[in-house]
Amino acid sequence: MRSIFNACLFLVLFTACNTDTETTAPPAYQEMSNPKPTDKTAWEKVARGVSASFASADVRYKKEAVPENLSNDPWKARGWKGEKIHTKILLWTTDSVDAVSFDKGDLKNKDGKSIPAENISVDFIRYVMTDSIGRNGSGCGIPSDLDSSLAEDAIDNVSSLALAANTAQPAWLSIRIPADASAGIYNGTIGVNGADKKLALNYSIEVLDRTLPTPGDWSFHLDLWQNPFSVARMHNVQDWSDEHMNVMKPYMQMLADAGQKVITTSIIHDPWNSQTFDVYKSMVKWVKKKDGTWSYDYSIFDKWVSYMMSLGIDKEINCYSLIPWNLKFYYYDETIGKDTLIIATPGTEAYANHWKPMLADFANHLKQKGWFEKTTIAMDERPMEHMRLALAIIRDADKDFKVSMAGNYHVEIERDLYDYCVASQFILPDSIMERRKKTGFKTTFYTACPEEYPNVFTFSPPAEGAFMGWYAAAKGFDGYLRWAYNSWPEKPLQDSRFGHWSAGDTYFVYPDGRTSVRFERLIEGIQAFEKIRILIEEFKSENQPDKLQKLRDTLASFDIPGTKQKGAAAVVNAATEVLNSF
């Protein structure tokens, strides 16, 4: 075992690389204590000190366990110009170390051309507390006594990290291939500084002669619901203040850079009956005047939408919700001089009287702003009769309002839904998918707590995040939705568990602008979706049926029951090899 581990690295006097630097260091934090015991006997068989190796991005390495099945080979990868590619580096140590850090240098080809070090990042992956799927095979309604463990997920942006004895510590190596890079093979080295020795890991990137568009030009319809109120709480700033808008930018820019298309807005208070730690507040102020008429203040709504559009998230505005889970509708009543509420069910006079004037006024406001064509009145799964009645109210207010919905597949209302997102268990008939595409409608799929597989919990196999983009391409969907981009629990950096949902269900990214393994793997799948789209168009236009069939045969392997048996990593990796062979 000693010789295998030592073969994973070699000692060098490493002077050719530039040391990573940080302009704004985020606050340091401590992970939760590991509930799993350490096998000290196993660690006694490991070479002393700090060791390092490239490792699989498909494996969640246990903090307390001696790493296994590592290769001593350099990492080799292929990618398109404009693509972001990644892998893991795994450190492990028998001794405590005050500070470990990385060096990185330019990747260079035989002609002296380079991928600059600024396009390369090496960041520590931090451990967060997670749990598991429920005993009923679902991540909804899980009991509080499920076994908990530490899982690697948050990608930190600190320049160095202390290591405890007898622990493993992963890191995330990411390379953004420049859009103007020359095709060819580029070689580089990552240096590892720790304890009394410096280590080096060699790797090479083959840049293929194809170009991925920038995220703003991706067609994938990504809809991760944003929660600006979580950001305000985490940073202790006033909702919608200048400070709030400033601290939100790193999170929303990360989302824009992933190709996000949709702005999440809440036009009523608490549309989801407090299912998140931070309740969604209304971005519209509803005021019932003394004479019984209504007025609406859209200033916060306008500020939020304009802000998101300035970051490049500007294709769709989804407004939640006509049918909140608790059927409670809050407003300010001038007659009594305070906030109050009504409880109203679709189909009742109270419901119609509450919504019709607002929707008519809202439509006029959106038209004045030039946003009407981008806006949908959004719902998620509700009783069919309630949804029918709500649709009638919307059409009565303005027949041209677009409507979006996330839920089960309902043939009865499908034609009414401009943006229809169905649970991953549903496949729409080909004829309906084709008609929706021809009419410019969006059809996507989602995963949430009910799905054990595929999913993006903090304990899910990482390749399942990449699976989403591939699955969308295979089944003809336009994209993917998930209900929570950043609805953080109380202490998201330490503990991803929340309520009765499986851990990680409520967020992808972490405070202080930290991305995650789950989010980066999701982006990987979105990039694959775009590459597939480009290749299909090319093969059709250039009459290359053999290549087109090879790609379609590859996509046919993305079936949820079949992939569950094989494992997402095996299917995604095999398909990626094919995709990069054209």
Query: pLDDT tens, 501-550?
Result: 999 999 999 999 999 999 999 999 999 999 999 999 999 999 999 999 99
Tokens representing residue 463 in the block: 């390749």
Residue 368 DSSP SS3: helix
Determine the CATH number of domain 2-210.
Answer: 2.60.40.10
CB proximity list for 88: less than 8 A, separation 6 or greater: 54, 55, 56, 57, 59, 61, 125, 170, 171, 172, 173
pLDDT of 6: 39
Segment 290-302 shows an average pLDDT of 98
The number of CA neighbours under 13 Å toward the Cβ of 449 is 20
Among residues 501, 510, 560, which one has the least CA distance to residue 132? 501
Compute the Cα dihedral for 484, 486, 491, 496 and give only its sign: positive
| pLDDT surpasses 70 at 48 | yes
Which residues of the chain are in CATH 3.20.20 domains? 220-278+298-324+348-579
Length of the chain: 582
- Check if the beta carbon of residue 540 is closer than 8 Å to that of residue 516: no
| pLDDT surpasses 80 at 55 | yes
pLDDT tens digits, one per residue of 311-365: 999 999 999 999 999 999 999 999 999 999 999 999 999 999 999 999 999 999 9
Rounded distance, CA 118 to CA 12, Å? Answer: 23
| pLDDT surpasses 90 at 107 | yes
Residue 267 DSSP SS3: coil
| pLDDT surpasses 50 at 8 | no
What does the longest C-alpha to C-alpha distance in the chain come to?
A: 85
For residues 144 and 50, the model is more confident at 50
Cα R_g (the chain), whole angstroms? 25
pLDDT of 13: 33
CA angle 388, 391, 392 (to 5 degrees): 90
Rounded distance, CA 295 to CA 266, Å? Answer: 17
| Residue % of the chain over a pLDDT of 70 | 96
Tokens representing residue 332 in the block: 């300010």
CA dihedral 536, 538, 544, 550 (to 10 degrees): -30
pLDDT of 144: 83
pLDDT of 23: 42
pLDDT of 197: 78
| pLDDT surpasses 90 at 129 | yes
CA dihedral 365, 369, 375, 377 (to 10 degrees): -10
pLDDT of 27: 78
| pLDDT surpasses 60 at 5 | no
- Check if the beta carbon of residue 303 is closer than 8 Å to that of residue 363: no
Q: Average pLDDT, whole number, for the chain? A: 95
Rounded distance, CA 452 to CA 455, Å? Answer: 6
pLDDT tens digits, one per residue of 245-262: 999 999 999 999 999 999
Determine the CATH number of domain 220-278+298-324+348-579.
Answer: 3.20.20
pLDDT of 383: 92
| pLDDT surpasses 60 at 12 | no
The number of CA neighbours under 13 Å toward the Cβ of 284 is 23
pLDDT tens digits, one per residue of 387-412: 999 999 999 999 999 999 999 999 99
pLDDT of 450: 95
Confidence of residue 25 (pLDDT cuts 50, 70, 90): low
Tokens representing residue 434 in the block: 């084709």
| pLDDT surpasses 90 at 1 | no
Rounded distance, CA 29 to CA 158, Å? Answer: 10
pLDDT tens digits, one per residue of 482-511: 999 999 999 999 999 998 999 999 999 999
Rounded distance, CA 352 to CA 346, Å? Answer: 7
Segment 223-229 shows an average pLDDT of 99
Burial label for 38, CB within 10 Å (0-12, 13-18, 19+), is middle
Tokens representing residue 17 in the block: 């690389």
Among residues 32, 28, 30, which one has the least CA distance to residue 150? 32
- Check if the beta carbon of residue 318 is closer than 8 Å to that of residue 263: yes
Which residues of the chain are in CATH 2.60.40.10 domains? 2-210
pLDDT tens digits, one per residue of 557-570: 999 998 888 999 99
Relative orientation angle of helices 463-475 and 568-579, to the nearest 10 degrees: 60
Among residues 194, 207, 211, which one has the least CA distance to residue 98? 194
CB proximity list for 572: less than 8 A, separation 6 or greater: 463, 466, 467, 470, 525
| pLDDT surpasses 50 at 236 | yes
CB proximity list for 318: less than 8 A, separation 6 or greater: 223, 262, 263, 264, 265, 375, 376, 378, 404, 419
pLDDT of 3: 36
Confidence of residue 72 (pLDDT cuts 50, 70, 90): confident
Among residues 285, 384, 286, 270, which one has the least CA distance to residue 328? 270
Segment 183-201 shows an average pLDDT of 93
From residue 66, how far is each of 4, 75, 167, 192 by CA, in Å?
Answer: 12, 21, 7, 19
| pLDDT surpasses 50 at 128 | yes
Among residues 159, 82, 164, which one has the least CA distance to residue 124? 159
Model's pTM, two decimal places? Answer: 0.95
